[in-house]
Structure formats: structure tokens, C-alpha cells
Structure 1
């Protein structure tokens, strides 16, 4: 499977995949009023153009067939940027690890652009992916923290009271 940014050539396939995923998630989708159906579609032309430029949105492709996509964008939360995942859609025949690969591509792109948090709703498609990425899951919401001292520096992780998990005080002498 290849995970890549999408281009204008992918728009029709993305739209078809989006409609199929919406139909799978809600069997009565096709019977909804047109305005409500339109409101649920995330592959409108303006949305596709926006996410194509976002640097954090990807498709999963194998032998020219799209098996899924993830749309994400960088937004400001308080005093720092985060990457916020808007949606993930998978084809019904997508390999089991497709969502993991898509989320990992977004996490890597966030890190590569010096954004150190990725936020996303834990949908059924992302449950396994959230665990595989080591995200901090709170109910149906998850955050993957990147580039923290706990991930990059030697030493002992701090416990909730500021004491190293080894039982030693968290100071230079415990490193």
C-alpha cells in the first residue's frame, strides 16, 4: 500500500469513495433530503482543493486503486498549532491496516512541519490505528503527542506526582 498526497486527478475517485463510505455508515443516506446529503459529503470541490493544500491529507493507493483517505488540517489551538483530523474514509475492501497507514502518514507530516499534536475522533476505523500510534485516548477522542521529552530524551518517564517511575525524584541525578 502506498500513502501519498492526492491531486486533482484523484477527485472523482475520492468523491465515489466518500459516497460509498457514507452509504455504509448510514444505510438510509440515499433517502435523506438532498440538502442533508450534501452537508455530509466531505469531498465537495472546495473541500478537496482545501485539503489538497493542507499538507496533512493523504490517500491510500495500491495498483492505481484508492482504498481510503484521511483529511486533516493544521489549526491553532490557544498558543500552538495542532493537526486536526477531519475525516477518514475506507473502501469496504480496504486492507485491515489501511487506517493505520493513513493516520501514520498524517502524524509524520505533522512532525515534519513542527506541529507536535495530532487530534482526532476515535471512529471505528481509527480504534486500532489510535493504539498503534500510541495516542492518548479519552473516550471517543484521541491526541497523539509528538516530539516530547518523554519520547526523545534518555531517562525515566515522570509519574503523575512528578516522581520518576523508578521511584527516584525526577532530577538530573535520576537521568
Structure 2
């Protein structure tokens, strides 16, 4: 699997993957009112152009086929920047192990990009798609929210730090 920044050539595939993931998560998606459907889609043209430039968004590609994407951006929290993951979408009909590996690779690419730009925290919601990735990254979890602290901030971060073999009951 190759993890790379999305380009304009990916827009149609990203939109198709987004729709497939939304339909898989909610089989009644197509029956929702137009405004509701439009509000859930994260691959509008303006959004795609924004995330292409964000430095922290990536696609997972294998043999020219997209298997997932992560959209993240740098935002200010108080007096410092953090990277905030907005969404992760994975190919809905992939095997669970493949989905977990894809999510882990996407989150790791975002964490690395944050570190490379001197941003030392990556914030994300711990969705089912990101549970294993949160463990693999050693994120600190507070409820259904996680922060991957980079550098020395990890030593004093609040919340429970996840180890390689533990995933607490995350408020289900």
C-alpha cells in the first residue's frame, strides 16, 4: 500500500469512495433529504482542493486503486497548532484486517506529516475505523477522543496511553 497526498486526478475516486462509505454506514443514505446528504459528503470540490493543500491529508493507493483516505488540517488550539483529523474513509467491502492496516497507515502518515511540520499533537475521534490505529500509534485516549502527542509532550499527556495490546472499552 502506498500513502500519498491526494491530487486533482484522485477527485472522482475520492468522491466515489466517500459515497460508498456513507452508503455502507447508512443504507438509507440515498433516501435522506438533499441537504442532509450534502452535509455528510466530505468530498465536495472546495473540500478536496483544501485538503489537497493541507499537508496532512493522504490517500491509500494500491495498483492505482484508492482503498481509503484521511482528511486532516492544522488548526490553532490556544497558543499552539495541532493537526485535527476531520474524517477517515475506508473501502467498505475490504476485509477487516485490510481496513485496519489501511487506517493505521493513513493515521501514521498524518502523524509523520505533523511531526515533519513541527506540530506535536494529532487529534482525532476514535471511530471504529481508527481504534486499532490509535493503539498502534500509542495515542492518549479520553473517552472517544484521542491525541497522539509527539516528542516530549507524550510523557506528560493526560488520558490513558494505549499500548500495543490494550484497547479499553471506549464508551460503547
TM-score tier, shorter chain, comes to 0.7 to 0.9
Q: 1:110 to 1:30 in 2, by over 3 A?
A: same
Partners of 1:158 and 1:126 lie apart in 2 by 13
Q: 1:153 to 1:117 in 2, by over 3 A?
A: closer
Matched length: 165
For the aligned residues, what is the CA RMSD? 6.8
Displacement of 1:66: 0.1
Any unmatched runs of 5+ in structure 1?
A: 161-165
Partners of 1:11 and 1:77 lie apart in 2 by 30
Q: TM (normalized to structure 2)?
A: 0.85
Displacement of 1:139: 1.1
Q: 1:142 to 1:158 in 2, by over 3 A?
A: closer
Partners of 1:106 and 1:168 lie apart in 2 by 21
Any unmatched runs of 5+ in structure 2?
A: 95-99
Displacement of 1:147: 1.1
Does the CA contact (< 8 Å) of 1:67 and 1:93 recur in 2?
no
Q: TM (normalized to structure 1)?
A: 0.84
Q: Which secondary structure state, in structure 1, belongs to the residue aligned with residue 47 of structure 2?
A: helix
